[in-house]
Structure 1
């Protein structure tokens, strides 16, 4: 059924809420696709006989939910859906995308030993100035840039194996490679997530404007014996990625 096929109900549910529900359902049904312009305030007024204020409120709700962006002169543009990552689950990027029906791919900028940053040294329990194998990768979903990852591997993880090559890293999951070649299975971790603005280099890599909002996740992961395996800093596009967490009242 079309979003405007039936009149609104004049009852306890606010009209603006009903319109937002209609449009949300139409988006879920595929009536509108990413990049499409949703009905304007004037079109909503003509369809339902509501005031411009009511029509505006319904579109503003969709904007607040991250479904659309609103621009003067361009209207309300449907955004691509965000990828949602449960904050209480530790998974590789490849596993995370696969669960959502998206194809993960990687573009490795570098993979070589390098001096640790102070935060990476502390996370891996190593001395300041020590070296570890460092990997810089672009994370993509269905070919679209989604995030940037900088990973530091604990030296003991690579004690019995040559480090991964750029071809290895471009081919798939780092976690899968570590398990297959090093016997290093990641079983737990701790992650901090914060908001930031994209610097010039990050903006270029992710295809966003400079200072555009991004999510920065800093993760320390470990194996079954509790020893650190990896310290990683991931920078995600905030317009395409979000974290969710289930809460329980104490």
Structure 2
């Protein structure tokens, strides 16, 4: 599902005249008019709103009034402001299923989204204590480490760090770069099924780098999962820590996995 161009998507809903009666702030009326258009589907997800100047002319108000209305819409997560690009209606949020068989690509394709990702950093690293404990390793034991930025339809969804026991997965990164899939890389090592042993879900503020990578405001929290995957014999094979853009993804835990 690819986003349409700015020209195709620029919002152009009909705007009702504003009331100048006392007690009805103009910014609130602008907010309500735009919010109604967005919620009612008159403005499509991903559409770019007109500029502040254009909105001010359309509503017959000053740009300060428009800025206040847009700030309220952004706070309500109806729009997002991208510096240097403009203001856009939020796309539909992705329901990311957290289950015994959580798979990133499958999660997205079930919702007609196209998954992709890039490796930001990778290498061999000594396991810090939380990772070693989760993987059943000694503190400082060698692991294969990878940090990835994942996308859905070209939009950033999460930044994830993955740790794998080196003694079991020597050469993991070379195979991953060929197959571009953790599941497919596991298959190379003879692991054809794996499950989620545990998932811890928390929220925190993003680092400046995370906010930039995820293209989200630095004052908006990210959703964080810390997960352990195991093979068919119950042996830990992966520890992952993932920061999700909370404006793009909502985590869903099914009743069978509670």
Length-normalised TM-score, structure 1 = 0.68
**Aligned pair in 2 of structure 1 residues 125, 191: CA closer, same or farther (>3 Å)?**
same
RMSD: 4.0
Residue 39 of structure 2: aligned partner: 24
2-structure distance, mates of 1:66, 1:88: 27
> How many residues were matched structurally?
218
Q: How far off its partner does 1:190 sit?
A: 0.9
Kindly indicate whether the alpha-carbon contact (under 8 Å) linking 2:223 and 2:243 is maintained by their aligned counterparts in 1. Answer: yes
Kindly indicate whether the alpha-carbon contact (under 8 Å) linking 1:85 and 1:96 is maintained by their aligned counterparts in 2. Answer: yes
Residue 126 of structure 1: aligned partner: 137
- Larger deviation, residues 218-227 vs 169-178: 169-178
Residue 241 of structure 1: aligned partner: 249
Kindly indicate whether the alpha-carbon contact (under 8 Å) linking 1:114 and 1:134 is maintained by their aligned counterparts in 2. Answer: yes
Alignment partner of 2:225 out of 217, 226, 238: 217
Kindly indicate whether the alpha-carbon contact (under 8 Å) linking 1:90 and 1:189 is maintained by their aligned counterparts in 2. Answer: no
Length-normalised TM-score, structure 2 = 0.66
2-structure distance, mates of 1:247, 1:91: 14
**Aligned pair in 2 of structure 1 residues 212, 142: CA closer, same or farther (>3 Å)?**
same
Kindly indicate whether the alpha-carbon contact (under 8 Å) linking 2:93 and 2:249 is maintained by their aligned counterparts in 1. Answer: yes
Residue 102 of structure 2: aligned partner: 91
Instruction: Give the match's secondary structure for 2:173.
Output: coil
2-structure distance, mates of 1:85, 1:168: 23
**Aligned pair in 2 of structure 1 residues 91, 131: CA closer, same or farther (>3 Å)?**
same
Shift >6 Å, 4+ stretches: 62-65
Residue 230 of structure 1: aligned partner: 238
1-structure distance, mates of 2:149, 2:176: 14
Alignment partner of 1:146 out of 157, 160, 176: 157
Residue 163 of structure 1: aligned partner: 172
Say whether 1:113 aligns with 2:124: yes
Kindly indicate whether the alpha-carbon contact (under 8 Å) linking 1:135 and 1:151 is maintained by their aligned counterparts in 2. Answer: yes
Residue 193 of structure 1: aligned partner: 201
- Larger deviation, residues 187-196 vs 225-234: 187-196
